[in-house]
Amino acid sequence: MSLPILARSRRTRATPFTARVQANGVKAYTVYNHMLLATAFASVQEDYDHLCQHVQVWDVSCERQVELRGPDAARLMQWMTPRDLSRAVVGQCVYAPIVDERGRMLNDPVVLKLAEDRFWVSIADSDILLWANGLAVGAGMDVAVDEPEVYPVAVQGPKAETLMARVFGEVVREIRFFRFKWLEFRGHPFLVARSGWSKQGGFEIYVDSHELALPLWDALWEAGADLQVGPGCPNLLERIESGLLSYGSDMTRENNPLECGLERFCKLDGPDFIGKAALAKIKQEGIARIVRGLKVAGADLPDCVEAWPLTVDGTYAGGLHTLVWSPRFDSYIGVAMMERAFWDLGQNVTVNVPGGEARTAVVCAVPFEV
């Protein structure tokens, strides 16, 4: 099967950086929040090697911001998440699962507290703007819900701090993990957070100036020439090794956060939120499945682009949702949703590959450990 072409249209939005991403030799895109997101430049493996050694600049504009602003902004934000936000401070980023009234995952954004009455919800791939605004309109809340013109750029990798210090000044070194500061570039203040969708360290710049978008992008590249700055994007291999889950792939609206291994972000005896009673009931009864890692034997597997059934002696044991070859583990590694009877670490399972082939695999923890 040849590789599918992505047909372009205004509906799958370009970003202020798309011309640069093209010039950098992007190999493939996905569509994320109705917007282009690169998935590889040299190759997933080569991009990974570079990311773990140097520094990369990522166009993650598709991390759209849902802004909540006004007297009821804080109340709406807390209502949407099981995460206890009562002690979150201005300048903080908070990973906050969003669930519905039945406790089902709708998204897993990072929430940026800009002010006591203003938040940016930096979303995964679902239209949380519609959820937030639906709740606000339905409940008659006094809050404006919008998608501001903000295009995040991630600077990731072990040399990220050095590069960022050259562009934004030494003050970037003071930014703690999951905190942000407003730092100037050419006189415009940009929100700079120590965050990003890799475990290699780095920052995200929330670019809210169209005029300065490309000058900032180019400044990062110029300042990073001797650091071997390169193009990059969220990397399938790195994110699976690191145990970073992708909403829509590793977990969906079919799953609750307890199944997704996100219980530590769910405060069931804290502030009220939508789905609190449902999650409390699920916790009391015990979950039926949980996210696990899987090491799959052998080589030459096709791409896993839909749920592959896992079985034990013919009984359904779970679904494999993501898969990648890891040289570090000398094995395919993947993310699966394992049924309760088969979720113990060390459990052997059969992977039923589309087309009829069967492979053996073993259940393990995420993040993967050497």
Binding segment toward its own copies, per CB under 8 A, in 45-53, 174-182, 284-292, 304-312: 304-312
Candidates 303, 314, 346, 358; binder of its own copies (CB under 8 A) is 303
Residue 26 interacting with its own copies (CB under 8 A): yes
Among 90, 305, 345, 365, binds its own copies (CB under 8 A): 305
Long-range contacts of 251-256 (CB under 8 A, 24+ apart): 251/105, 251/108, 251/291, 251/337, 252/105, 253/100, 253/104, 253/105, 253/106, 254/104, 255/104, 255/105, 255/289, 255/337, 256/99, 256/103, 256/104, 256/105, 256/282, 256/287
Q: How far is the CB of 187 from its own copies (least distance, A)?
A: 27
Interaction pattern, residues 103-122, with its own copies; x per rule: CB under 8 A = ---x----------------
**Residue ranges in 136-165 that form contacts with its own copies under rule CB under 8 A:** 136-141, 147
Of the candidate residues 24, 27, 181, 352, the single one contacting its own copies (CB under 8 A): 27
> Which residue in 62, 105, 112, 128 binds its own copies (CB under 8 A)?
128
Task: Give 226: exposed, middle or buried? Use CB within 10 Å, 0-12, 13-18, 19+.
Answer: exposed
Rounded CA-CA distance 39/32 in Å is 11
Question: Could you say which residues in the range 351-370 bind its own copies, by CB under 8 A?
Answer: none
Number of residues located near its own copies, criterion CB under 8 A? 57
Of 262-301, which residues contact its own copies (CB under 8 A)? 274
Residue 247 interacting with its own copies (CB under 8 A): yes
DSSP string, 317-347: EEEEEEEEEETTTTEEEEEEEEEGGG-STT-
Instruction: Say which amino acid occupies 136.
Output: A
Q: Are 49 and 235 in contact (CB under 8 A)?
A: no
Residues 183-242 that bind its own copies (CB under 8 A): none
Please answer whether residues 55 and 163 qualify as being in contact, where contact means their C-beta atoms are separated by less than 8 angstroms: yes
Q: How far apart are CA 166 and CA 168, in angstroms?
A: 6
Provide the minimum distance between the beta carbon of 240 and its own copies in the complex, in angstroms, as a whole number: 12
- Per CB under 8 A, the segment of 22-30, 85-93, 205-213, 336-344 that binds its own copies is 22-30
Asked whether position 14 contacts its own copies by CB under 8 A, the answer is: yes
CB neighbour list of residue 8: distance below 8 Å, 6 or more residues apart: none
Of the candidates 309, 295, 263, the one whose C-alpha atom is nearest the C-alpha of residue 370 is 295
3-state secondary structure of 136: helix
Give the footprint of its own copies on this chain (CB under 8 A).
Answer: 1, 3-14, 22, 26-32, 34, 39-40, 100-101, 106, 125-128, 130-141, 147, 246-249, 253, 274, 303-307, 321-322
